[in-house]
Structures are given as C-alpha cells and as structure tokens.
Structure 1
Amino acid sequence: MFRKLIILFLFISVNTFADDGSRLWLKYDLLKDVKQREVYASLTKHISFNEDSPIVITAANELQMGFEGLLGKKVLISKNMGSKTGGIILEISADGPNVQNLIEDGFAIHSQKGNIVISAKTPSGVLYGAFELLRNIQTGKSLNKLTIVSNPKVKIRMLNHWDNANGTVERGYAGSSMWKWTELPFRIDPRYIQYARANASIGINAASINNVNASSRFLTPEYLEKIKAVADVLRPYGIRVFISVNFRSPRTLGGLKTSDPLDPEVRKWWNDKTKEIHEYIPDFGGFLVKANSEGEPGPQDYGRTHADGANMLAEAMRPFKGIVIWRAFVYNADPKGDRFKEAYEQFKPLDGTFDPKVIVQVKNGPIDFMPREPFHPMFGAFPKTNLGMEFQITQEYLGQSTHLTYLAPMFKECLDSDTFAKGKGSTVAKVIDGSLESHQNSLMAGVANTGSDVNWTAHPFNQANWYAFGRLAWDHSLTSEQIASEWIAMTLAKNKTAQDKIRTMMMQSLPIYISYTYPLGTAHMMGEGHHYGPEPWLAKSGRPDWTSVYYHRADSVGLGFDRIGGISNALTLYKPEVQKLWGNPEQCSLDYLLWFHHVAWTKKLSTGRTLWNELCFRYYDGVEQVKKMETTWESLKPKIDKETFENVKGRLKIQEKEALWWRDACVLYFITYTKTPIPAPFLHPTRTLDEVKKLVEIYHLR
C-alpha cells in the first residue's frame, strides 16, 4: 500500500509540474549528471561582491537561485569573501586588470586564485556576466580556466511593445497584454520580474512599453504613476523604460491650438512634460515616435520635417541622459509610386540635420517585415545620422502563433548584408552598431512577441525568436546555429541526438515557410487586415499599397515588380556593387528575383525550371517539408516534456493545413494568368479557387 502511495505521489508530481513553458530559458532544474554537478559545485561554493548596488545584488541572488536549482545545494552570499576559494566573486572596478578591455555593460569572467571572478565597470555588466556563467552551466560547458571577455556591440538593446491601454496587443498572438494597467501601481504582477529576468539574461536593457500607435493617455499623471511602478521593477535588472508618444499630445493633453514643433508654446509643453516624466522616472530612457505614418499625426501636418519634430523632442531631452527614437516607417498612398522608395526619399534630404540625441529607427526591409526582404536602402546611405534597426519578433507575416519559424537566420541575413557604403565589408550590422561612421548612439529594437499566455509566446518555439533577438543585439557575430543550440539545451532537451534534430528543424523552418508562402521574392500577399493566410487576389483596399496585386504585378506575361527602371528605379537607391548583385535577372539571387524583376512565366531559371514550374515546385515542396518536420518531431516524443510535445505537435498539424492553404491559393490564382498546367509530378489541387477564397471569408467572420 505504501509503495502504491509513493507511485501515485510521483505520478501526480510529474503531471503537476509538467513544463508549461513559463520559465522560458531560465530553467534551473537539477543536472542529472552527478559527476558534472560535483565539478560545478566545487567551483561555486559561495558568492561575494564588493559593491552592494541593487543590480549587483540581483546578480548575486540570480546566481544563488541558479546554483541551488542546477546543483541542488545551498550557496551563501556575503559582502566580502576574504581568503576563501572555490567561489564566485562579483567585482566592480573602474580600471582594474580584468576590465581593461571592457566598455559599458561589458563583462569579463576569469579563473583567478581558486575563484571565478566576474568583473565589470558597471553593475549591469556584472549582471550580464552572472547570466553568462549560468548559461555555461545550463549548456554543460567547462568552468575550468575560464577566460571570457564580452562587450555588447549595440548600446541600446530594446523590446518595442505594441501594447494598448485596454489590454490588447497590436500584432500580438500570445494573449492579451502582460501589462496590467488597471492594477498598476498598486499591484505588481510577478510576471514583470520574470520578464525582467528573461531580458537581462540575454542582454536586453530597454523596453518601450506601449504601442507606437500611441495614446496620449500614457503621458498623463495617472499613467506616469503606473509606468513608474513598472520602471521600478525593471531597474534592478538594468532595464530602462521608454514611452511611445503621440505627436498631437500638446493639443489633446495641453489644450494648445497646435502641435507645430517650431511653435514656442509647443516646445515649452514638451520641455515641461519631459521634466515631469523624470520626476517619476529619473532614469527615463526616452521617447519612441511614430509620426506621419499610417494616419498618425506628425510634423508634416504643419509643413515641418521629421527632423524638426525629432529635434524638438531632443531639445526637451537635452538636460537628461535619455534619447529620442524616431521611426522611419513612412509611406504615402501613391498608386503610381513604389512604397519601397518612400522612407528613403523622405529622409535622405534630412541626413545630417538630426540632433545627436536622435536615432532614426529603420525596419530591416523597405516594405514591412516580409519573411524575406532586401535590406533597407537607408542602411549605408545616411552617414551623418544615427540609424537603428527595427526587427519584428512577433510573427505578423510569419505564421503568427501557429507556424514554427525560427527567425535568427532572417535577422542574420539582414545584419550580414553588405551595403558597400564605405567599400566591401560595410555591413548593415556595422551601420547600426555605429562602428561604420563612429556614431556614439546605437540601437537594435525588436517588436515583442510576449503576451499573457502562460508560456509568454503561444508557440513554444517562438520563445527562441525572443532569445535570438537578444543574443544578436548583444553580439551580431553569433551564428544562428549557435544561438539555436543554446536555446535548445536550456529549454527543450539535453540529449545530443534530440538537440541535433531540433536544431535542424529550426534552421530549416524559415526557408520552408518562405517556400509555401513567398517564394522567389514575392511579397505582401496575406489576408487583409488580420494578415493571416493567403489572399493574392486582393485588388481593392483602403489604399493601393495595402493590396496584393500592387506587389506581385502578375499578368499574362509574367510575375514580379520591376524595380530596375521599369515600374520603379528603386534599385538605384543602393550602391553600384549592390545594384550589380540584383540588377541582372540572369545573375540575381532567386531569393530576391521577383523583388526587382518582372519575369516571364516561361523564363528558364538557374534551377533548370521555368519560373512557373519553379514556383509550383517550391509551393508543393514547402508543404512536404512541413510534413517531414512533423515526422521529426514525432520521433522526439520520448525526449521532450509531454506538455511541450503535444503543444508543438498540434501546432505543426495546423501548419501543415495552412501550408496547403497557401499552396492551393497561390497556384490556383496564378494559373489564371499562366494558363499552364501544374507540372508533373504535382497533382492539381482538389479544391477550386472559389472554394479557397471562401476560406478567407470565413476567417474574416472570426
């Protein structure tokens, strides 16, 4: 009977403590290898620090929690260790030998006189070093004779939250907002601390906590008190709070007759408001602004420039350490124009006119977070302006919460692209980290994919995109494979065979997704409004560049947007070396072919297939590759936590169904132009185009 009770208890325990994903990659579960635990334990007997700042204490507490979980032992924390050995020393030093090669936020980890010393010039650097040490233990690396020196390549590493005051999240696919505005400032949700820990562990040091389509309400005393409460939670983790602001706020809040950035009363209003914010949040990070974009107000409403608006806010921020981030996502409704060019054309005349406190935040590509885009032509063309990167972590056009799509390769593809701005090697990464033009301020921002779902990101694998963004913002030289390996070991599996299979799935996932949605450089064919599922036939919308036909330009001759001088001369916005890469359809990478060329359906490509046959091959192969991912995942069942396994399994089934939806929608639509059968051995879809179109109508009814 007693034995039965033990078995029942173990059964209940295992099922009660199934992995719900809430701990993200900060899983401090007991290491199974006893010898490995003993080795680690001998090097982590105690923790001491020489400066008791809140952030250093956070680092010590995190190490203590990590060691107790991973190694199963109690570890004491003390102010000074004295002559003891076998412990961890957290050291702040302005000019000691261990910090000579460090910049702000950087850290060094060394084995020294029988201890492991984490050194930094700042408390935040110590915190990042503590998480690096824990990552080494979680991933099974040796701690003997450590010599690690790590500096962040980007100064401001930020999450942009598109969260609204009513609890919704624009382009959020993991539940409602994590910010409980109705409860703040009186109740602090414990998830705020978990969120701060997760961000600090990957080096994220800034968060803009409200939607760029901003409500002026966030600048009222009522909300500043709430934002202060959030800032107080994030501060011990080295994270500064930014606020997205509405440019019309002087009118809507201040009662002024105008929001003209050159009006003295408007400038005074922003100066006073900025001082007021700092009374609540002394280390306020700054403003994030979306202006004169998609209906949002801005300086152009008053005949002023983006620089006029940004510099007005920079003036208000001048007495403080914060900055102004001004988004470059702007475009006009011009059916005869090319949205590809518009941000460049609006901002290019302003290069050199922005205040040094301003960073112009540019999306990775010229349209809008498509699964694959050429790098934005603004990168490498604005030597006198601080340019920051804006990636989208939330998967607006990448399967949202139902498709497994690992985004590190997409981030890397952009960062590693060569702009040739100052000759070969002038990569986008060097532009946005400031090194190419010796800019002091640098920024990499990612639109967050967090929400109220228990595992934060809905799809378990979407956590990897948050993780990858942070790691690349810290060090863009890391490889996608390395980042995937870390995340897998910290979240899903310790078994090497399982890790290898999962990493392969992740690395193949983005090319697979592109194959069945946007092959060969097609773009912007998603469902209207919700941006979910295919709608390549969309021809009418609120503006022409919100339609699909505006982008794919399908006709009886061929497919693609001619940007080499036919419909548009957008290719000329790039340096000659880049133009050479993409300008000749015979030599252009197939990944970007239809971005720049209108290609005949019968044109034979480098694969030996015609354009039409190649499109069909990719659409059909994409579906088959999703099925192979399902088979691979099924083989991992014994190695994966049951709850996580079933969650991913179900989402892969959805992905297969929707890959088929994309395939059928696109081939059935484009065949109306090609008038050519689907090539063997592929079978014609069993449903008609009209039947597929009804699926979109059903989705609109949801």
Structure 2
Amino acid sequence: MYKGKILIILCLICSKGFANDGYKLWLQYDYIKNETLRLDYQADVKNLVHFGDTETIKVALKELELGFAGMLDSNYKSQSKSNSVLILGNRANLSKDITGQLGNTFTKLTDEGFIIKSFTLKGKSQIVITGKSDVAVLYGVYHFLRLMQMNSSLKNLNIAESPKIDFRLLNHWDNLDRTVERGYAGFSIWDWHRLPDYKDPRYIDYARANASIGINGTVLTNVNANALILTPQYLDKVEALATIFRPYGIKVYLTARFSAPIEIGGLETADPLDAAVIKWWKEKADEIYAKIPDFGGFLVKANSEGQPGPQNYGRNHVDGANMLAEALKPHNGIVMWRAFVYSEHDVSDRAKQAYSEFVPYDGQFKDNVIVQVKNGAIDFQPREPFHPMFGAMPKTPLMMEFQITQEYLGQSTHSIFLPKQYEEVLESDTYRKGKGSTVAKVIDGSLDNKKLTGMAGVSNIGNDINWTGNPMLQANWYGFGRLAWNPYLSADDIADEWLHCTFSNDEKFIQPVKDMMLKSTEAVVNYMTPLGLHHIMATGHHYGPGPWVSDLSRPEWNPVYYHKADSLGIGFDRTPTGSNATAQYAPEVATTFNNLDNCPEELLLWFHHVSWAYKLKNGNTLWNNLALKYQEGVDEVATMVNTWNNVKPYVDEERFNDVNMLLNIQYKEAKWWRDACLLYFQQYSKQPLPENVEKPTETLEHFEALNFPFAPGN
C-alpha cells in the first residue's frame, strides 16, 4: 500500500518536470525550445578550442560545458556539422592570426575586460572569447552564455567590455556563530565550525554566481567585527575559502576590529599612533598574506554605534585608516574605511555627521585607502537623497555602499527591485563640477581621475535553498553586480536580463513581470515612507511600522526624531531655518532642496516641516496627498499580486507558489503600514481620510501593541 502511494507521488513529480527550487539563480541554462535558434547555436559552438590550462580556464570550460548541456541537445556535437570554431584563451596564448583580427581592441581594455568577436579566418567562421587575463576570459564566457540564455544572435559579434569600477564587492554581515545581522535568508553560508577541512560545494556555486555578474571580492565577516577572525585558527578557514574563490577572480577581505591588538594581541592599547600597535598590525598583515597572497584587505567600521576606533584615543579617522593602510601597502592591500558614523554625543542632525567628520580630511588619506559611503546620509531607507559626501571630497576615493538585503524594506517578505533605487542614486547630480557631475561619475573615478574605485553591496545571501529567501530578490544580487560592473546600465535592461536568464524567454511573461518589478520600488516607498518620510520603522528589528516610537535611549534611534509630526505639520526641516543639512550640498542642489515649492515632492518631508494644509502641485493638501500615496502603494501591490497570478502558465509551480505566498503577505503588510501610519499621523492632522483611501479596520492601539520578539535579522 505504501509503495503504491510513493509510486504515485513520484509519478506526479516526474510528470510535472517543472519544479524549481531557485537554487540555480540566473544560471538556469534552460533548454532552448526554438529549434532553428538551437541548431544555429549548436553549429556555432560545436568545435571548441581553448588555449591555456590554468584553474580559471578550466572553470571557464566547465561553465561552457554546463551551459551547453542545458541549453542544447545533449548529443549536439555528433548531430551538428559545422566549420565554425569557438576559441577560448587570453591574449598571450592566442596565435597572431587570431589577435590580428582584433586590431587595437586590447589597448582599450583593463586586465578584467573581455572581447567576444566573430570573424572568418581561413574559410572558417570563428568566435573568440579573450582578454588580457584568464579572469577576463571567464567574464567573457559568462557574457557569452548570457547571450544564449536570452536567445540573442551569435552572428556578427563585436563586443568589448571592461568593468568601470575596480573593486566590486559583497559585504557579508555574517557572524562567526553563523547568524547574519540584518540577514533574512537563513543562516550564514560560511560553515566556520567545519572549515577548513569541509568545503561545502555551495561555495563553488556562490563563486560561479558572483563571477557571472563580475563581482570580484567578498568581505566574509560582519562590519560589527569579531577579532577572532584574525587568529590563526580562523585564518586557516579563510585561506580555504580564498583557495576556492581564486579561480573565479574573487578575492577575500576581512573586517578588522580596531581593538584587536588588545583583544587577541595582548596589548594594553589600540592607539593607531602607538609603536607597538603599528608593529602588531604590520605583523598581522604579513601573517595573513603568508597564507593568502592575494588577500584583498580590510573593511573597517570604527567609532560608530559603539564600535571601537581611533577616536577612543583622541585620534581621527585619518590616523586609523592610514595606520592600517601602511600595514597592507607592501602587499598591495586596501583599506575600506566606512563613513557610516553617528554618535549620541552629537546633538546635531544625524544626517550631517558623516560629512562633518570626513570632509575636513579630504586628501589626507593614504593612496590605498578608499572611504566607503552609504547611498544616503541616514541608513538604507526606502528613499533618500544622495549622500552629500559624494559631492564634497574630490581628493579622496569614495566607494558606494548599497544595501541588497532589506533591513528597512520589508525584509525578504517584500518583493522590491532595488536596481531601480540604485539607478536613481547613481544618476543624481552632485553639481560638484557643474551640471552632469553624477554620483556614478564620482564612484567610477571619471569625475576626478581617482585611482581607486569601488562599489559594495550588503549581501542578502543566506543558507536558504534559494539563497535570498525570496526568488524575486535574487534580482537585487544580480542587479548590484551588473551595476558594479557598469553603473550606467538601466534598471530596465537589468530586469530584462535577469528575467530571461532566471525564468523564461516568453514575452508574455517578460513584459508584465518586468513592469511589475520596475514599479515595485515606488510601491514600497509609497506604502512605507511617502513624500520623503524616513526611519519610521519599528524599533530593533525594523520590521513593520513604528512612527510612535519615542522612548529609546538615543534620540536618533526614535522615529519621532525624523518625522516630527505635530499639530502644525510633519517633516524634518533641514533648510537654513532648521538643521541646515542642505548646506552640505552644492549650491545648485541646496537651492532646489531649500525651496519648499521647488523641492522634489518625493523628498519634501526629508527637507521641510510642512503644514498639513499645504497644497502640492496637484492641488491636494499635504494630508490628502500623504494618505493617497499610502493607498497608491497598497493598490500597486494588489496589481503585483494579480500580475503574478496571470503569468502562472509561464512559471514552474514551485517558484510560482513561493512568490505568490510572499506577494500576498506583502499586500497584507502594505495595508498594515498604511493603516498604522495614517491612524498615527491623523492624531496630529485632525483631518478625515480622503474618499479614495480605505478605512482602517483596527485601532491605533492595536497596531502599537503588536510585538515581534523573534523577528529575524535583529
């Protein structure tokens, strides 16, 4: 009887043949159903020739074999008759006949840049994938496979690409006990206890995914650092990961706890100007590089949120960063010194503190120091204006820090396409050298000819089978990597790529889901923090709304500090009549933000305390607009739910059900956000909700009493 039931279940599973747990991310390599196209591809790639036998070239060949096995007929080599040749190898290993076909293209490439070119040589059609290094070839291979995944033509190829940013890193906020700070996809994928001897095959798939989108570095540990990672026991474990990642062009980095000389070094001080401390860090760097010759360097969070740093000893950020930079300099390592600083002892506007602490030191950092700056001056909010530091430090390399995980964005429950947010920030104009001085030009170094360039993304990766806790949020990891490679790519194109590679090439699926993704970012802003509201999430775990929170020990931890709602209006005055944070921007930008009538309405309450009766451009009062924006966000999520239901025929059952459940939770929680926030703010506006806004079914007291003691990522 039981055998019969098992057989029926197995038959049902096999008959669907359509289950997909999301583990393969955007490297699905699904079978190409278009027979004509498939036969063309088979002819193009039948005869594969490679030059070089390094581990990286072996990885590239293995990836091609994996891609061809999935996308083409399994016996395509015997079926296809072709004079075409696919050639793989770096420039030094190619014949002069082949390199002669490429002209001066190599001179325009960086060491990581690749060429994919088709030509005819000695009567044979040839496609070459090459570059100055083996890693460049690997990047070219992934690009080539992406073309096939997207069913693009392989005829007349003439592609030459180099990354516009040098250091393209994931920042894992992973702890040594495998918890992940602000992580919403399970525990850390780093199994520290079983390393270095047990090497989880997942590490290879992690490396494959990152290399496929051009990510070339990973910071393994939390910015709230633990000094134990620098001990010999853990460095052996780090070495094991570095060895796995090396063929994929990925370097490992570690967070350096500033007090490590005391905690694991036996010193009485961590003063960066103390000779013994300087010696300790130099010896520690030598020790690390003896194990890991291509170690990338240190990421440092210092004197922020209670973390130790140079200010503990009356020193400054330059003293701390430069001391570590000197230790790494002989090994070509870098220091990424985070500018996310704020102190309970500084009673000024929290948004001003990073600028105030760092801008006076412009030009004083060593040449292997890069200052890592969050996209906005508060903390990864649904929407922030660009950080003023990006327009104020022409002599210092600045590295963008985006959040891929969603601490303030509904966490992994809510589907939001973050490349749309990244695009908005990157396109923002700092006016530092006049119009056109965009944030993208600052971080890619082109505005001021910077030698170090970087972009970091706070990882949303965990040990969930689908990596990110929600299949749709894989797009944010993918999109970050693509924008780190080229910060001028459009969110539209990135969504298009990801959907083709991850789900389907059917336009009946692509177009509606892409539209859903591109609108999702604004939807989340609207049902959480419309019109420039910010940091009104619940305390600690930041899960759900909490605009009423006012009893935390530090003023800048309380949502009431940011929205300042009262009987007169709502919003934080950052103009000259308030904190004057706008003075940290270029005059052209400050003038726009300072003017109540000209300030972009999506940032209105970020910069102004506005009367409830103030009329916006559409003629409605601020109160009515605020309420209607909350409703608009909820309505957009309802549309997202309907869109997803309509594309069910084009999606495998497993991922369809996962996303469907999560979107329904998002819809429920969007209404929670709308109702809780509007009931709270209505106490001050004393005005009824507009006719088109749904009326809450619960009381404000109900929402204030909700408690989530075990919310993840806290």
Where on the TM-score scale, by shorter chain, does this alignment land: which range? Answer: over 0.9
Residue 63 (structure 1) aligns with: 64
Distance in 1 separating the partners of 2:602 and 2:710: 30
Matched residue of 2:670: which SS? helix
Residue 405 (structure 1) aligns with: 416
Q: Over residues 108-146 of structure 1, what are the superposed CA-to-partner deviations in whole Å (9 max), with x where a residue is unaligned?
A: 110022111012011111010000000000001000010
Query: Aligned match of 2:630 in 600, 619, 635?
Result: 619
Residue 283 (structure 2) aligns with: 272
Matched residue of 1:464: which SS? helix
Q: 1:238 to 1:85 in 2, by over 3 A?
A: farther
Q: Residues 120-159 of structure 1 correspond to what in structure 2 (within 5 A)?
A: 120-159=131-170
Which amino acid is 2:689 matched to?
I
Q: What is the Cα deviation at residue 8 of structure 1?
A: 8.3
Which amino acid is 2:37 matched to?
Q
Which amino acid is 1:602 matched to?
A
Distance in 1 separating the partners of 2:18 and 2:648: 18
Query: Aligned match of 1:109 in 99, 110, 116?
Result: 116
Distance in 1 separating the partners of 2:149 and 2:54: 26
Q: What is the Cα deviation at residue 628 of structure 1?
A: 1.4
Q: Over residues 647-682 of structure 1, what are the superposed CA-to-partner deviations in whole Å (9 max), with x where a residue is unaligned?
A: 011011111111111011110000110111112133
Query: Aligned match of 2:186 in 151, 175, 181?
Result: 175
Distance in 2 separating the partners of 1:337 and 1:651: 40
Distance in 1 separating the partners of 2:22 and 2:582: 44
Residue 243 (structure 1) aligns with: 254
Maintained 8 Å contact 1:47/1:75: no
Q: Over residues 21-71 of structure 1, what are the superposed CA-to-partner deviations in whole Å (9 max), with x where a residue is unaligned?
A: 000000112211121110001100132222222212211211121112111
Residue 40 (structure 1) aligns with: 41
Q: What is the Cα deviation at residue 516 of structure 1?
A: 0.6
Matched residue of 1:163: which SS? coil
Residue 216 (structure 1) aligns with: 227
Supply the RMSD in Å over aligned alpha carbons: 1.8
Residue 315 (structure 2) aligns with: 304
Maintained 8 Å contact 2:496/2:510: yes
Q: 1:621 to 1:610 in 2, by over 3 A?
A: same
Query: Aligned match of 2:85 in 84, 87, 93?
Result: 87
Query: Aligned match of 1:574 in 581, 585, 588?
Result: 585
Distance in 2 separating the partners of 1:298 and 1:46: 58
Does 2:509 correspond to 1:498?
Answer: yes
Does 2:559 correspond to 1:545?
Answer: no
Maintained 8 Å contact 1:419/1:428: yes
Residue 645 (structure 1) aligns with: 656
Q: What is the Cα deviation at residue 203 of structure 1?
A: 0.2
Distance in 1 separating the partners of 2:667 and 2:574: 34
Query: Aligned match of 2:706 in 688, 695, 701?
Result: 695
Maintained 8 Å contact 2:631/2:694: no
Maintained 8 Å contact 1:519/1:591: yes
Q: Over residues 419-438 of structure 1, what are the superposed CA-to-partner deviations in whole Å (9 max), with x where a residue is unaligned?
A: 01111111101111111111
Q: What is the Cα deviation at residue 577 of structure 1?
A: 1.1
Q: Over residues 574-627 of structure 1, what are the superposed CA-to-partner deviations in whole Å (9 max), with x where a residue is unaligned?
A: 001111222211011111111111100000001211000000101112112211
Q: What is the Cα deviation at residue 415 of structure 1?
A: 0.6
Distance in 2 separating the partners of 1:15 and 1:292: 56
Q: 1:698 to 1:101 in 2, by over 3 A?
A: closer
Which amino acid is 2:553 matched to?
G
Which amino acid is 2:232 matched to?
P
Maintained 8 Å contact 1:601/1:610: yes
Distance in 1 separating the partners of 2:586 and 2:380: 22
Distance in 2 separating the partners of 1:66 and 1:498: 23
Structure 1 unaligned regions, length at least 5: 77-83
Length, aligned pairs only: 691
Distance in 1 separating the partners of 2:7 and 2:700: 59
Maintained 8 Å contact 1:408/1:480: yes
Maintained 8 Å contact 1:334/1:544: no
Does 2:523 correspond to 1:516?
Answer: no
Residue 80 (structure 1) aligns with: none
Distance in 2 separating the partners of 1:344 and 1:330: 9
Maintained 8 Å contact 2:18/2:653: no
Q: What is the Cα deviation at residue 410 of structure 1?
A: 0.3
Q: Residues 63-462 of structure 1 correspond to what in structure 2 (within 5 A)?
A: 63-73=64-74, 85-93=83-91, 97=103, 98-113=105-120, 114-334=125-345, 336-462=347-473
Q: Over residues 392-447 of structure 1, what are the superposed CA-to-partner deviations in whole Å (9 max), with x where a residue is unaligned?
A: 00011111011110001100111111101111111101111111111111100000
Maintained 8 Å contact 2:20/2:654: yes
- The 4+ residue runs of structure 1 with deviation greater than 4 A are 5-10, 14-17, 697-702
Residue 54 (structure 1) aligns with: 55
Which amino acid is 1:299 matched to?
P
Does 2:561 correspond to 1:563?
Answer: no
Maintained 8 Å contact 1:99/1:119: no
Distance in 2 separating the partners of 1:682 and 1:357: 54
Residue 26 (structure 2) aligns with: 25
Distance in 2 separating the partners of 1:86 and 1:9: 42
Q: What is the Cα deviation at residue 75 of structure 1?
A: 7.8
Distance in 2 separating the partners of 1:17 and 1:605: 50
Matched residue of 1:445: which SS? strand
Distance in 2 separating the partners of 1:699 and 1:622: 27
Worse-matched range after superposition: 27-36 or 566-575: 27-36
Maintained 8 Å contact 2:151/2:505: no
Distance in 2 separating the partners of 1:697 and 1:169: 18
Q: What is the Cα deviation at residue 697 of structure 1?
A: 6.2
Q: 1:335 to 1:554 in 2, by over 3 A?
A: farther
Maintained 8 Å contact 2:539/2:546: yes
Distance in 1 separating the partners of 2:694 and 2:310: 55
Does 2:482 correspond to 1:471?
Answer: yes
Residue 81 (structure 1) aligns with: none
Matched residue of 2:89: which SS? strand
Q: 1:491 to 1:606 in 2, by over 3 A?
A: same
TM-score, structure 1 length as denominator? Answer: 0.96
Maintained 8 Å contact 2:444/2:454: yes
Q: Over residues 212-248 of structure 1, what are the superposed CA-to-partner deviations in whole Å (9 max), with x where a residue is unaligned?
A: 1010000000000000000111001000000011000
Q: What is the Cα deviation at residue 700 of structure 1?
A: 7.2
Distance in 1 separating the partners of 2:474 and 2:664: 19
Q: Over residues 273-313 of structure 1, what are the superposed CA-to-partner deviations in whole Å (9 max), with x where a residue is unaligned?
A: 00000111110000000000101000000011101000001
Which amino acid is 2:57 matched to?
V
Distance in 1 separating the partners of 2:379 and 2:629: 23
Matched residue of 1:282: which SS? coil
Maintained 8 Å contact 1:533/1:696: no
Q: 1:309 to 1:23 in 2, by over 3 A?
A: same
Distance in 2 separating the partners of 1:7 and 1:66: 32
Q: 1:491 to 1:595 in 2, by over 3 A?
A: same
Q: What is the Cα deviation at residue 699 of structure 1?
A: 7.2
Distance in 2 separating the partners of 1:692 and 1:250: 47
Which amino acid is 1:131 matched to?
Y
Q: What is the Cα deviation at residue 696 of structure 1?
A: 3.7
Amino-acid identity (%) = 52
